[in-house]
Amino acid sequence: MAEVIFLPRNKIIKVKAGTSLLDTSIRARVVIPARCGGKAACLMCKVKVDDPTTLLPLTQSEKTKLSQEQISENIRLACQAKVFNKKVIVSIPESPLNKVVQAQLKNENNNDL
């Protein structure tokens, strides 16, 4: 069994090696956006891992669809990346829409002061 930690929620779940990060997130009730049903078509499920050796090697789909810069920054497709090691730390980026909403709310709050 491997332990997967999803940041920023600090949600921890144990799964069998070979389980995809997307399936793991569903079991943990952690939202990782995806529309393609795990076929690496939508590219919405990008996540960052602290240590790439905690996952099985990049799939051919990931090699084709991720840039070299993304790969060097430990970005993986959650639908393709599979748990390998005992402890995997996954950072889920904030959605672009959520960022815009939060920025607008902060701006409105600052204007009220």
pLDDT score at 113: 59
- pLDDT per position as a tens digit, 93-111: 877 666 676 677 777 777 6
| Alpha carbon distance 41, 35 (integer Å) | 8
Residue numbers of the domain that contains 58: 2-112
Q: Does position 90 have pLDDT exceeding 90, yes or no?
A: yes
- Residue 112, token pair as written in the block: 């009220």
pTM over 0.85: no
The CB density around residue 68, as the number of other CB atoms within 10 Å, is 8
- pLDDT per position as a tens digit, 12-57: 999 999 999 999 999 999 999 999 988 999 999 999 999 999 999 9
User: Where would I find the beta strands (DSSP E) of 46-98?
Assistant: 46-49, 75-77, 87-91
Q: Domain of 94: which CATH number?
A: 3.10.20.30
Number of compact structural domains in the chain: 1
